[in-house]
Chain A
Amino acid sequence: MITGRTREIVQLAMPWLAMALFLAIWEVVCVVFDLPEILLPRPSRVFEVFIQRIDILLAYCWDTLWTTVLGFLLAIAGGVMLGVLIGASPLVYAGLYPLLIAFNAVPKVAIVPILMIWIGVGPTPAVVTAFVISFFPIVVNVATGLATIEPEMIDVLYSLGASRFEILRKVGIPRAMPYLFASLKVAITLAFIGSVIAETVGGNRGIGFLMLSAGARNDAPTTFAGLFAIAIMGVAMYAVCALLEKRMTRWAFRGQLVS
């Protein structure tokens, strides 16, 4: 018999077990097939390098982290504003939506060189790329939240005498919140992709730059250490967003997830 408590512990341990298993298989495969380090370094070797070069890794992680988070925060601010405009006004929706789609279809890597011409190398292209890439899902989600209010809810408010602004404030914004927070989980991951791309294409700092230069020196363990660092930051920020989502929009889960 598995009791509730043990099940809970097992559930909590599962992700760690899965990761350990994955790393173990990786290690074994490298040893058994005797893969050259430059092709695929063993995880234990990556950890070794990780510890050895922790100073530079931390410094570059910090660069990547703050550019990502800054771009992400700007994307939230801009995305919420534009999302509210689009969701609340059919006219703005009609005008801007196609433009947004077109904008989103442009591969973001392509804009980095342009950004560099405009603003040079440094942290700014990373911030801008993180912003641009994480902006879209936020806008779309916020607009969707606003556009899918039950018409009857709006009827009730209109017949009470509410203005459009009041409807937006009383129903629109609260209703868009779960959509916003759901989009943040996606957006933060995308923001990391954006800033790392920018660092890789034209940075002089950050994890992307570190990986690129390590790659150029055929230093595979350092490249992989960089990958691990990004993964860790990505998961951590995702967790922050998920936690925020749970806290802020308890009602949307009907109290199920939070007991």
Chain B
Amino acid sequence: MTFVELKSVSLTYRLGKETTLALADGTMAIGKGEFVAVVGPSGCGKSTIMKLVTGLLPATSGEVVVAGQRVTRPIKGVGMAFQNPTLMPWRTTIDNVLLPMEIVEPHKRRFRRHRAEYVARAMALLKTVGLADFADKFPWQLSGGMQQRSNLCRALIHEPELLMLDEPFGALDAFTREELWGVMQALWLEKRFTGVLVTHDLREAVYLADTVYVMSRRPGRIVMSRHIDLPRPRTLASTFEPAFVDIVHELRDRIHQEHAA
């Protein structure tokens, strides 16, 4: 069943007289519970796709459909995480993670009265990412990797049907990044939300995704969609196996073509 569908979506940014065609033809269909990755050259419109899917930007032409509904304004209850963790420095980690509960229905209505229950839920989630001891620390008391973990918890706490990740591991060191792939995969295997991950790291894309979309240079189009049928759960060791490496090379070759073009 298709959950997110882009039908020849284009987007032009307007700044006064200046116009930038960021996305020329975005067409993709993402199944419910599917995890897709979007890769492509810098500036090709990946972040733009994220904003189109969540309705933060209206499409210039074409149609975005999420859960059978045409998207015309911001859709509610989506989990989002960016490269920059955007935690609120005046809230402790646990209060940052609880933020969606104060906004998304039906939690919003119940939050005050059932706070303890929600705190327990947030603590359980923090524990799965190894942050149980840091719940009462402020974001600026955490390392970059820890902040990004909290950010992921905040995106997931309300168990969204749709999770949008825009290079969330981009700013992390290789070890932390690979560790978080594992965390992400485990969470996805457990909750089976629909996920869209933008990344520059092809190993990351192949490790996490069911389908990897490759985009052309700006103005972006989808030039390749590669189904990844490697068994789950995937391990770090499996990323060095021939089957995995072959897919990474295949994707890399396609992106090189884009750079050469």
Interface residues of A (CB under 8 A from B): 150, 152-153, 155-162, 166, 170-171, 174-175, 177, 249, 251-252, 254-255
Complex partner residue of B56 from A159, A162, A166, A251, CB under 8 angstroms: A159
Please judge, given known A-B contacts A155-B56, A170-B99, A251-B90, whether A161 and B84 are in contact too, CB under 8 Å.
no
Complex partner residue of A174 from B90, B100, B103, B104, CB under 8 angstroms: B90
Decide if A159 touches B138 in the complex (CB within 8 Å): no
- Which B188-221 residues sit within 8 Å CB-CB of chain A? none
Residues of A within 8 A of B104 (CB): 160-161
Decide if B103 touches A251 in the complex (CB within 8 Å): no
Residues of A within 8 A of B54 (CB): 155, 158-159
Decide if B103 touches A166 in the complex (CB within 8 Å): yes
Decide if B86 touches A160 in the complex (CB within 8 Å): no
Decide if B103 touches A150 in the complex (CB within 8 Å): no
**Beta-carbon nearest neighbor of B76 in chain A:** A161
Q: List 17 A-B contacts (CB under 8 A).
A: A153-B86, A153-B88, A157-B103, A158-B56, A159-B74, A159-B75, A159-B79, A159-B164, A160-B77, A160-B78, A160-B104, A161-B75, A166-B103, A251-B89, A252-B90, A254-B89, A255-B138
Residues of B within 8 A of A174 (CB): 88, 90
- Which B58-82 residues sit within 8 Å CB-CB of chain A? 74-82
Q: Is B240 an interface residue (CB 8 A)?
A: no
Tell me the count of chain B residues lying within 8 A, CB to CB, of chain A.
Answer: 30
Decide if A160 touches B100 in the complex (CB within 8 Å): yes
- Distance, CA A155 to CA B103, complexed state (A): 13
Interface contact tally, CB-CB below 8 A: 71
The 7 closest A-B pairs by CB, nearest first: A161-B76, A159-B78, A251-B90, A159-B54, A254-B140, A158-B74, A160-B103
Complex partner residue of B80 from A159, A171, A175, A177, CB under 8 angstroms: A159
Residues of B within 8 A of A249 (CB): 90
Decide if A170 touches B138 in the complex (CB within 8 Å): no
How close is A178's CB to chain B, nearest CB, in angstroms?
A: 9
Please judge, given known A-B contacts A155-B56, A166-B103, A255-B140, whether A161 and B74 are in contact too, CB under 8 Å.
yes
- Distance, CA A161 to CA B86, complexed state (A): 17
How close is A162's CB to chain B, nearest CB, in angstroms?
A: 5
Q: Is B141 an interface residue (CB 8 A)?
A: yes
Given A153-B88, A251-B89, 4 more pairs with CB closer than 8 A: A158-B54, A158-B74, A252-B89, A254-B89
Q: Is B102 an interface residue (CB 8 A)?
A: yes
**Beta-carbon nearest neighbor of B155 in chain A:** A156
Residues of B within 8 A of A150 (CB): 84, 86
Decide if A161 touches B90 in the complex (CB within 8 Å): no
- Distance, CA A164 to CA B13, complexed state (A): 23
- Distance, CA A157 to CA B103, complexed state (A): 8
Q: Is B226 an interface residue (CB 8 A)?
A: no
Residues of B within 8 A of A160 (CB): 76-80, 99-100, 103-104, 158
Q: Which among B55, B78, B90, B154 has the highest number of chain A CB atoms within 10 Å?
A: B90
- Distance, CA A179 to CA B64, complexed state (A): 40
Decide if A251 touches B82 in the complex (CB within 8 Å): no
